[in-house]
Amino acid sequence: MSADIVADHSPVLDIDALPTLEDYGYDGGRMAFRRFCARAFKPDGPRFLRGDGGALVVFRHADLRALAARPELSALAPNQLFPGLLLAEALEEKPVGFAIANLIKNQLFGANGVLNATLRKVLLNQIGPKPTAARADAARQIAGRILEDLPLGETVDLVERIAEPLIGLYWGGLIGMTDEEALSAAVQARKMTPMLFLRPDGEGIGEADAAATAYRGLVEGASQRALDAGGCPFVSDMARDLAMVDIADDLDHGGYVPKTVGAFLAGNLFDGFHTAALAIANTIRTLIDNAEVMDRLRAEPEKAAAAVSECLRLEPPVIHLNRVVSADLEYDGRIIPAGTRVMMMWGAANRDPEAFTDPESFDLDRPQQGLTTFGGGAHICPGRFVAGLVARSLVEALIERRIELRAAGDIDDWIGNHAMCQLRRLPLTLERWPGQGRTVLPS
């Protein structure tokens, strides 16, 4: 700890003196994440770590939950996420990365304070727990249709043939996309993956930038078309609520108010397409390692939601998100200075033995309180209800159609250098399990 003292006489947390993420084997992606958890949660493991550029790394469950509740811990506003890029809006020739920045500035994840709460309400009015639960049957029907179109006994890539179509068709149905548009939007969202790398390269960002342009055109175009035609309350009600937001833009801290419902949906549904597809794939990947769970779910299908929660505790889509301290923050007797970047390792908290008994094991009966799969505090992911629903809908469709998914190759082709646990592909075969007809699921 530093000997520096601030006005209230609390010592400043000396981040430079902390061990580094590299010391604990983490350089991005799921494989490194697993190595990190195995080392960091040993009995003599560290309390905090230091990341690139002097960022404070928080990974223990209690610290993450406590700090997320503090108003001084802010989301990175658009100009903090993309320094200088948004100034290019007036230029005829845009720099590489501009399309990404111009899309992501419309996310509520870049808003703080009143704007964050206001935009969050606009979104949750349509994708909160009640409206999402009301779409459970529709989601299961989409999953069933996808499974019925796939060949039995042949190898298919779950990422490309099941996860992306499922989430694409789910969102596409809500905003009036054609099936072709919805499937294309899901693919373009995946092609934006390089923007989430810890050490992005110019070529990757260029590809992600092109994908962002294509993705935005699909979502924004369909949203405007639905708004003009009428009869699509998901879009029209959101447009009405968004039009009532009267808060000034503040790209340096407060955030940005999207100027059209299409821009709002395109920005926020990037995670809806991308992260939810990861949630589907990671759920199935976890169930492959725990075949006995599917056996139990066939007898107790009402436990499908709990199974998805436990799958995503073990294989979370998101490993970490970045925050910034907006004002000196006193925590546990130390000051974290204003301007400090903070890496919140949400995925690691779910493996903290101080919070979860035997955290490496799959426990279908584990209490689900305290999970950090989708973050916490004022900036918790609003799409968590949909991610859980679509993953559950696939599990339920598999049970209902008596289909078993079996590994058919390398099922650990995880992308490295990444802030997320993301499979490039997941090769599987679909087989019928013994019995005739369909399983009737509880309503």
Distance CA 367, CA 181 (A): 39
Handedness of CA 85, 91, 93, 99 (dihedral sign): positive
Sign of the alpha-carbon torsion through 382, 384, 385, 391: positive
| The two three-digit tokens of residue 300, written as one number | 């107790």
Residue 179: per-residue pLDDT: 98
Give Cα separations from 286 to 283, 308, 334, 361, 426 (angstroms): 5, 9, 39, 11, 12
Tell me which long-range contacts 227-230 makes (C-beta under 8 A, separation of at least 24): 227/261, 227/262, 229/176
CATH number of 15-432: 1.10.630.10
What is d(CA 23, CA 40) in angstroms, rounded to the nearest whole number? Answer: 10
Four-CA torsion 421, 428, 385, 145, nearest 10 degrees: 150
Q: Is 34 left (phi over 0), alpha (psi -120 to 50) or beta?
A: alpha
Q: How far apart are CA 212 and CA 195, in angstroms?
A: 10
Question: If you search the block for the tokens 């092609």, which residue do you land on?
Answer: 191
Gap between the Cα atoms of 214 and 191, Å rounded? 10
Q: How far is CA 84 from the centre of its chain?
A: 26
Residue 434, pLDDT score:
77
What DSSP designation does 89 have?
Answer: G
- Beta strand pairing call for 427-432 and 155-157: antiparallel
Predicted confidence at residue 441, as pLDDT, reads 61
- The secondary element (H helix, E strand) that includes residue 56 is strand 56-58
Diameter of the chain measured on Cα atoms: 74
Helix (H, G, I), strand (E, B) or coil at 157: strand
Residue by residue, pLDDT tens for the chain (443 residues) are 333 444 457 899 999 999 999 999 999 999 999 999 999 999 999 999 999 999 999 999 999 999 999 999 999 999 999 999 999 998 999 999 999 999 999 999 999 999 999 999 999 999 999 999 999 999 999 999 999 999 999 999 999 999 999 999 999 999 999 999 999 999 999 999 999 999 999 999 999 999 999 999 999 999 999 999 999 999 999 999 999 999 999 999 999 999 999 999 999 999 999 999 999 999 999 999 999 999 999 999 999 999 999 999 999 999 999 999 999 999 999 999 999 999 999 999 999 999 999 999 999 999 888 999 999 999 999 999 999 999 999 999 999 999 999 999 999 999 999 999 999 999 999 999 876 555 556 55
Pairing relationship of beta strands 56-58 and 49-50 according to DSSP bridges: antiparallel
CA of residue 251 relative to chain centroid, distance: 23
Question: Buried (b) or exposed (e) across 284-303, using 16+ Cβ within 10 A?
Answer: bbbbbebeebbeebeeebeb
Name every residue whose Cβ is closer than 8 Å to that of residue 70 and which is 6 or more positions away in sequence.
329, 331, 377
Cα distance between residue 19 and residue 59, in whole Å? 13
Give the span between the Cα atoms of 36 and 27, in whole angstroms.
9
Q: What are phi and psi for residue 292, nearest 5 degrees?
A: -65, -25
pTM (predicted TM-score):
0.95
Cβ–Cβ under 8 Å, residues 252 and 79: yes
What is the C-alpha separation between 283 and 315, in angstroms, rounded?
7
Domain boundaries, the chain: 15-432
pLDDT at 10: 87
